[in-house]
Amino acid sequence: NAGVTQTPKFRVLKTGQSMTLLCAQDMNHEYMYWYRQDPGMGLRLIHYSVGEGTTAKGEVPDGYNVSRLKKQNFLLGLESAAPSQTSVYFCASNDGGQQFFGPGTRLTVL
Amino acid sequence: SQQGEEDPQALSIQEGENATMNCSYKTSINNLQWYRQNSGRGLVHLILIRSNEREKHSGRLRVTLDTSKKSSSLLITASRAADTASYFCATALYGGATNKLIFGTGTLLAVQP
């Protein structure tokens, strides 16, 4: 099993550009999450999904959108990137107990 | 706002010593979990303790939970240089049906060889 994978690993955007981060899990988990991690801030929940076709807002959802069209995939979109969205983004899935994390995407917005 | 607050923020010890990290939280929980993050990597689950448990062991890890004080501690015994990492506590809130976790800000542990 690959577990949780994320693409891309790194990305540099200019202010106003858009992009989509892809998360995929092969563990058949219902729950999936997107976090951002900033220095000294821990992980903050952006959006999450409790199953295929569902999404919900987390702690810091502004400026992001998500979709869960397939159970194994959870996409995070930035429609108009801002420098404040420079961060490391982590995807995770949950088996009802622990969370399994992807390796992260380092995004820089200039 | 963060549910969990770890203490200390940073800890430096010698190999072979024990490392203790503390976590405090604010509201009732279903369970509390500890994760480890090596620099530049994703988080890895270490241990989960449920609200009706007081202590749990896994290898060199010992976790305690005091729900009356809303606090938990993670003890790493006989530390090794490879234990150098950031450690985060995360709480699953009571009654939550979404399995969401709220993470603290972490403790950076450096184990000197």
Using one digit for the tens of pLDDT, what is the confidence trace for A41-56? 789 999 999 999 999 9
Is it the case that residue B30 has pLDDT exceeding 60? Answer: yes
Nearest alpha-carbon partner for B33 in B101, B106, B86, B79? B101
Closest by Cβ to B105, choosing from A40, A50, A90: A40
Query: By CA distance, what is A95's nearest residue in B?
Result: B99
pLDDT number for residue B5? 81
Taking only the tens place, the pLDDT of each residue in B96-111 is 667 889 999 899 999 9
- Mean pLDDT, rounded, for B81-110: 89
Nearest CA in chain B to A96: B99
Residue B58 near chain A (CB below 8 Å): no
Per the rule left: phi > 0, alpha: psi between -120 and 50, beta: everything else, B30 is alpha
Q: Which residue of A has its CA nearest to B9?
A: A40
List % helix, strand, coil for chain A (3-state, nearest 5). Answer: 5, 55, 45
Burial class (CB within 10 angstroms; exposed 0-12, middle 13-18, buried 19+) of B97: exposed
Task: Tokens 């810091």: give the residue.
Answer: A60
One-letter amino acid of A55: T
Average pLDDT over residues A25-50: 93
Q: Which of residues 82-111 of B touch A (CB under 8 A)?
A: 88, 90, 97-106
How is residue A15 written in tokens? 């202010």
Here the tokens at position A31 are: 């729950």
CB contacts, 8 Å: A98 with chain B: 33, 45, 48
**Which pLDDT value is given to residue A56?**
95
**End-to-end CA gap in chain A:** 36
Residue pair A48/A56 in contact (Cβ under 8 Å)? The answer is yes
The reported pLDDT for the residue numbered A1 is 76
Q: Which amino acid is at B74?
A: L
The span from the CA of B73 to the CA of B37, in Å, is: 17
DSSP helix/strand/coil, B67: coil
pLDDT digits (tens, 9 = 90+) for A56-110: 999 999 999 999 999 999 999 999 999 999 999 999 999 888 899 999 999 999 9
**CB crowding A38-58: b at 16 or more within 10 Å, else e:** eeeebbbbbbbbbeeeebeeb
The pairing of strands B107-112 and B10-14 is parallel
Nearest CA of chain A to the CA of B50: how many Å? Answer: 10
Q: Is the pLDDT of residue B1 over 50?
A: no
